Amino acid sequence: MKTKITLMGPLNKYFNGTKTKKITLSSHATIEDLLKKIGLPREYVSIVAVNGAKVSLDDSLQNEDEVVIYPPVSGG
């Protein structure tokens, strides 16, 4: 299935500087599978949002899903 992945903040280094990329995943892939495919360590992920809503790592993705991955932040 095809998904659109956006890596926020410093995480775009995992896409070599591009912020958003289309990624093909096997059907029923979870967020955790996606992270493994990108090579993004769990410790550098805070919120994962799919189509604007926060999800957990074992949630599955669907075709055409838009995913935004945020790094940890402190304060505001």
Partner 1 sequence: MLGYQNKVLRIDLNNKANSTEPLNMEWARQYIGGKGLGIKYLFEELKPGTDPFSPENKLIFMAAPLTGTTVPCSGKLAIISRSPATGTILDCSIGGHIASEIKFAGYDAVIIEGAVDTPSYIYIEDEKVEILSAHELWGKGSHETETTLLHRYGKDCKILSIGPAGENLIPMACINSDYYRQAGRGGIGAVMGSKNIKAIVVKGNGNVKVANMKETLGFINHMMHENTLTDDNLWAYTDGTAMIVEMSQTTGILPTRNFQDGAFQSYKNIDSEAMKKVRAGKKGCGSCALGCGNFTKIGETVVEGPEYETIALCASNCDIGDLEALVQFNSLCDDLGLDTISTGNTTAFAMELTEKGIKDFGLSFGDIDAYLKVPEMIAKKQGIGAELALGTRELAKRYGGSDFAMQVKGLEFPGYEPRGSWGMGLAYATSDRGACHMRAWPVAQEAYGDVDPFTTEGKAAMVIELQNYNAVKFSSIICDFWALDLEVLSQVLNAVTGEKFTVEELDRIGERVVSIGRLFNQREGFTSKDDTLPNRIFNDALKSGATAGKKIPKEDFEKMLVQYYTIRGWNEDGTIGQEKLAELQLIEAKTAMEEA
Residues binding partner 1 (CB under 8 A): 8-13, 43-44, 46-47, 49, 52-54, 56, 68, 70-76
Structure tokens at 4: 């659109």
Closest CB to partner 1 among 17 and 26? 17
Q: How far is the CB of 12 from partner 1 (least distance, A)?
A: 8
Structure tokens at 55: 């999800």
Closest CB to partner 1 among 7 and 25? 7
Q: How far is the CB of 26 from partner 1 (least distance, A)?
A: 25
Pair 49, 68: CB distance under 8 Å: yes
Q: How far is the CB of 32 from partner 1 (least distance, A)?
A: 13
Instruction: Compute the radius of gyration of the chain from its Cα atoms.
Output: 12
- CB count, 10 Å around CB of 50? 17
